[in-house]
Amino acid sequence: MPSISLEFFPPKTADQRAQFQRSLPRFMAMRPEYASVTFGAGGSTLSYTPETVKQLMAKGLDTAPHLSCMGGTREEITVLLDAYLALGCRRIVALRGDLPSGMARAGDLRYASELVAFIRAHSGHHFRIEVGCYPEVHPQAKDAQADLHHFQAKIDAGANGAITQYFFNADGYFRFVEEVRGLGIEVPIVPGIMPITNFSQLQRFSEQCGAEIPRWITRRMQAFGADTESIRALGADVVAGLCHRLLEGGAPGLHFYTLNRAQATQAVIDRLD
């Protein structure tokens, strides 16, 4: 089985926490290399991310908190870095993040490359730093070349590796990796994998983040109407097929966007086994 990692969001409500607790044993049984924990826009989950990181670290799971610079000050970022050092974290996922609704100020650091450089200046090489990348081009990028330039800036600032936005076109990933290698960048680029459960929700997510869903997948999903079980089964088959092709093509591992629900991720992993 290839190396896998899992992404969680920090549960806020009592129901979300209970559901996450029920799912954790199944996630742990997947034997992930590490788990990452997301960070809300402008720190909207500020009090929840460290809490979730602490919980997972206590279970012996190497955990990488997401850290966003958008809307935050250097002082606030320093406090978080010190907290994660104290918890024993060895990894961080450094992202620009999104500006919260109603907030006019971008923050002291405007770009993920600046955040990576700030982490290195603060903590040296203590943290392994992962950054994001977009095989299908960031939706806010001027063009594909500008997007590659921004990615290279993050690596030059000291990032150790990258996790992609999710996608369903393996050729786009392989082309992106080829272009990145052409720039002399040799860090691991791990595909981000989104299991399919609620297809209408996935369509909304994809419109926002610029991930393309191939027409053939959409049409086959539409044919099932409200048949949830058939949608889940087809989704698992489609995503497992994508994972097989990525691994056969040399992808260094898989990073699953779990949405804190184990069933869909487990269905894909079962097919890979």
CA-angle at 201, arms to 197 and 207, nearest 5° = 125
Confidence check: pLDDT of 176 > 50: yes
pLDDT at 46: 55
Please say whether the beta carbons of 76 and 92 come within 8 A. Answer: no
- Can you tell me whether residue 272 is helix, strand or coil? helix
> What is the architecture of the domain spanning 4-272?
Alpha-Beta Barrel (3.20)
Average pLDDT over residues 168-177: 96
pLDDT at 6: 98
* Structure confidence by residue, pLDDT tens digits, 54-73: 999 999 999 999 999 876 88
CA-CA distance, 185 to 67, in Å (whole number)? 23
pLDDT at 40: 61
7 catalytic, yes or no?
yes
Lowest mean pLDDT among 16-25, 78-87, 103-112: 103-112
CB atoms within 10 A of CB 62: 17
pLDDT at 106: 61
Q: Which residue has the tokens 């297809």?
A: 199
* Structure confidence by residue, pLDDT tens digits, 129-145: 999 999 998 888 888 89
Residue 245 in tokens: 């092709």
Catalytic residue, candidates 7, 114, 130, 136: 7
Residue 146 in tokens: 């500008």
Lowest mean pLDDT among 25-29, 120-124, 225-229: 225-229
- Domain residue ranges of the chain, discontinuous segments joined by +: 4-272
Q: What is the pTM of this model?
A: 0.93
Q: What's 42's DSSP letter?
A: G
CA-CA distance, 204 to 10, in Å (whole number)? 21
Proportion of the chain above pLDDT 70, given as a percent: 93
Work out the angle between the directed axes of helices 228-248 and 215-223 (0-180°, nearest 10).
150
Q: What's 43's DSSP letter?
A: G
Please say whether the beta carbons of 114 and 120 come within 8 A. Answer: no
Average pLDDT over residues 232-239: 95
Average pLDDT over residues 140-156: 91
Please say whether the beta carbons of 32 and 4 come within 8 A. Answer: yes
CA-CA distance, 252 to 4, in Å (whole number)? 9
